[in-house]
Amino acid sequence: MDTPRHHDVVIVGGGNAGISLAAKLRRMGCHDVAVVEPKQVHHYRPLLSYVGGGMATLDDLTRPQQKCIPSGCTWYADHVVAIDPDRSVVRLAGGQELHYNDVAVCAGSQVDWDAITGSEEAVGTPAAATNYLPEQAAKTWTMLSSLTAGRAVFVISDRHVPCAPVGLKPLFLAADHWRRTGTLGDIDVELLVEGPRLVNHDEAERALRAAADSFGVRVRTGATVEAVFAASRSLRVRTPEGTDELTYDALYLAPPHRAPEWVAASGLSDSDADGFVAVDPGTLQHERHSRVWGLGDVATVATLPSGGALRKQVPLVAHNMAAQRAGRALRHYDGYSVAPVTTNRRELLLAEFDRDGQPQPTISTPDLAKPRRSTFVFDRYLEPQIYWHRLLQGNLPL
């Protein structure tokens, strides 16, 4: 085993949360920050839904990871296999141990193929896809855009899916495409939503329901897909009314996600956390280990996981790390999150809310929960530039 190395702060994960936090800590004067991230390519993941809807390419959302690591940080291009909070050590797959004063777990989540029997086999066929994996995103649009008749089924799970309402983007982008090409009348569009609503925001819910109605989409909430049968292109669905089978010609999945297995194996989860990092949803400090912090998709923050939520979580964790060291009171996160959802190929709404479902609009006027052309342009074209040039640079006010 290599000689252990020590860092003031070790950040596990080099996605939005990890890179933004590393940059924020550096701006606050932390001189020894390490980032552990095995991937050599950084993805701006919100654009994957636009790739799935034919309005972006993978080139639009990728950058070399080396260019995203903040200046002055140490990058370990390796996998984490365990965290030992009693010894304050992060263990890497290559055998190295990293000692820390504080560790921030920003490892994200991953698709849980086992949660829906047959789903992984299905997306290996031309008739099913998900844009939640970069390698499947372009295939999603190929599948949807080539459909001219039959049944398209869109499945939105509520089991830890990152920003699940954004899974509706490919649906509305495809439906608008089908209407423009004159094929919508020949396609039965089914939307199966596992949760009770499309989004946890009353006004946005009404707008999305109206958009679905305008395209003739049949919406079923409380619908859990239990299995997919690739050979027969069918799936078994459980609803409050019972269980039935539904055939498909094109199947879109916003699939269940799970935390990396080492989180629970490291004792960072608990019986209520479902394998995710068990943090106080207010302070984002671990429930039992005061020098362990969790944020983003991997943590139990009791709100919709989203990139917009990280804009609140990242500066709060950076502040609370420093506050704990100085013996000051920790600040609290109210569960702010945001779901940007297109309603066609020109308009988009922003549903902003806290963990209780109360609206939390960034601005009072105009009402961004109504579909607008301006918010579409912002989300598709301006937000990625803000991400690369501000958010990943740590420009996040508390």
Instruction: Identify whether residues 98 and 33 lie together within a single domain.
Output: yes
Q: Domain for residue 355, yes or no?
A: no
Instruction: Identify whether residues 148 and 242 lie together within a single domain.
Output: yes
Among the three residues 256, 280, 313, which one is the final residue of a domain in this structure?
256
- The pLDDT score that the predictor gives to residue 396 is 85
Cα 61 off chain centre by: 15
Instruction: Identify whether residues 239 and 284 lie together within a single domain.
Output: no
Residue 242: which CATH number? 3.50.50.60
Q: Domain for residue 204, yes or no?
A: yes
- The pLDDT score that the predictor gives to residue 255 is 98
Q: DSSP H helical segments within the chain, as ranges?
A: 16-27, 48-52, 65-68, 119-122, 134-146, 168-180, 202-214, 261-265, 307-326, 373-377, 383-389
Closest CA to 76 of 52, 95, 63: 95
Cα 119 off chain centre by: 19
Residues 76 and 34: beta-carbon distance below 8 Å: yes
Instruction: Identify whether residues 100 and 34 lie together within a single domain.
Output: yes
First to last CA, the chain: 40
C-alpha triplet 79, 317, 112: angle, nearest 5°: 40
Instruction: Identify whether residues 192 and 248 lie together within a single domain.
Output: yes
Judge residue 210's burial from the number of C-beta atoms within 10 Å of its C-beta, 0-12 exposed, 13-18 middle, 19 or more buried.
exposed
Q: Domain for residue 366, yes or no?
A: no
Gap between the Cα atoms of 302 and 305, Å rounded: 9
What CA–CA distances, in Å, run from 389 to 62, 253, 254, 382?
14, 31, 29, 11
Among the three residues 230, 256, 282, which one is the final residue of a domain in this structure?
256
Structural domain for 37, as ranges: 5-109+259-335+388-393
Instruction: Identify whether residues 246 and 264 lie together within a single domain.
Output: no
Among the three residues 204, 227, 256, which one is the final residue of a domain in this structure?
256
> Tens place of pLDDT for every residue, the chain, 398 residues?
456 799 999 999 999 999 999 999 999 999 999 999 999 999 999 999 999 999 999 999 999 999 999 999 999 999 999 999 999 999 999 999 999 999 999 999 999 999 999 999 999 999 999 999 999 999 999 999 999 999 999 999 999 999 999 999 999 999 999 999 999 999 999 999 999 999 999 999 999 999 999 999 999 999 999 999 999 999 999 999 999 999 999 999 999 999 999 999 999 999 999 999 999 999 999 999 999 999 999 999 999 999 999 999 999 999 999 999 999 999 999 999 999 999 999 999 999 999 999 999 999 899 999 999 999 999 999 999 999 999 999 988 87
Q: Domain for residue 383, yes or no?
A: no
Instruction: Identify whether residues 174 and 66 lie together within a single domain.
Output: no
- The pLDDT score that the predictor gives to residue 4 is 75
Token pair in block for residue 93 = 């797959």
What CA–CA distances, in Å, run from 21 to 29, 295, 336?
12, 10, 17
Q: Domain for residue 359, yes or no?
A: no
CA dihedral 310, 315, 318, 320 (to 10 degrees): -100
Bond prior to 366 in cis (omega within 30° of 0)? yes
Instruction: Identify whether residues 52 and 98 lie together within a single domain.
Output: yes
Instruction: Identify whether residues 237 and 265 lie together within a single domain.
Output: no
Instruction: Identify whether residues 92 and 154 lie together within a single domain.
Output: no
Instruction: Identify whether residues 205 and 138 lie together within a single domain.
Output: yes
Q: Domain for residue 330, yes or no?
A: yes
Q: Domain for residue 144, yes or no?
A: yes
Q: Domain for residue 363, yes or no?
A: no
- The pLDDT score that the predictor gives to residue 347 is 98
Residues 6+ apart with CB under 8 A from 377: none
Q: Give the containing element (helix H, strand E) for 291.
A: none
Total number of domains constituting the chain: 2
Instruction: Identify whether residues 122 and 251 lie together within a single domain.
Output: yes
